[in-house]
């Protein structure tokens, strides 16, 4: 199935299940794109909950304010895995890779990037690559169990975030999938560190002093 067909089938399944399970005055599901969502936001709901990007969150809040509708926004952010020199690197690397490959990194709880003590960075990278190969093989684009990116738009967005000179593992993609891609020597000034990745790209940033972390994470988005 193509991505558009998968999306259509998934939407229909959810709508059918909810329609058969709940009365429409309590829970109602529908599909649609930007025009439909824009129209829905003009309605005077009691409460609006939105999960998604910061840019769309601003639109939801602005529209809801016209009806004085309370809003709860669960927006994308940067979620680091901090690996200290005292960490069990075998366990840490295995869990990081597992968390990053679930749905090809397209989950809200996926590790966004790694912040690792420079003394153990080389060993950690070695183990990350080892477990990536074990879990999804060294040819994930050919692995039928390895998930696709949700849309071509998001695949193109992810591809733009990759700087080829920083790729130390993976980096390839086709029309529907992207390999688990590990980037090294990334800085907080790189484009990939300015938005939630929500995909199978894993940047690595190193530190020399554990005290750097608190101040840096408080000042970075």
Element (H, E) at 72: strand 71-75
Q: How far is CA 15 from CA 4, 32, 170, in A?
A: 17, 12, 37
How far apart are the C-alpha atoms of 48 and 201, rounded to whole Å?
A: 31
Per annotation, catalytic residue among 36, 54, 74, 142: 74
Which residues are registered as beta bridge partners of 188? none
Residue 108 among the catalytic residues? yes
Q: How far is CA 89 from CA 93, 117, 135, 160, in A?
A: 6, 11, 17, 30
Rounded to the nearest 10 degrees, the angle between the axes of helix 89-101 and helix 121-136 is 50
Residue 74 among the catalytic residues? yes
Cite the active site residues.
74, 108
């Amino acid at each position: 199935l193509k991505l558009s067909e998968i999306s259509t089938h998934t939407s229909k399944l959810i709508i059918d299940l909810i329609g058969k399970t709940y009365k429409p005055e309590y829970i109602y599901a529908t599909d649609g794109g930007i025009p439909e969502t824009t129209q829905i936001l003009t309605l005077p709901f009691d409460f609006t909950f939105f999960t998604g990007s910061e840019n769309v969150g601003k639109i939801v809040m602005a529209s809801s304010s016209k009806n004085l509708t309370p809003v709860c926004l669960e927006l994308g952010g940067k979620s680091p895995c901090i690996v200290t020199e005292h960490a069990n690197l075998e366990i840490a690397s295995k869990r990081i890779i597992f968390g990053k490959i679930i749905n090809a990194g397209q989950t809200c709880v996926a590790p966004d990037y790694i912040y690792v003590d420079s003394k153990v960075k080389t060993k950690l990278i070695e183990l990350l690559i080892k477990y990536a190969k074990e879990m999804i093989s060294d040819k994930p684009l050919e692995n039928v169990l390895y998930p696709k990116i949700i849309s071509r738009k998001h695949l193109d967005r992810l591809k733009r975030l990759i700087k080829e000179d920083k790729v130390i593992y993976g980096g390839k993609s086709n029309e529907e999938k992207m390999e688990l891609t590990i980037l090294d020597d990334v800085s907080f000034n790189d484009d990939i560190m300015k938005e939630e990745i929500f995909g199978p790209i894993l940047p690595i940033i190193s530190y020399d002093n554990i005290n750097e972390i608190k101040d840096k994470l408080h000042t970075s988005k």
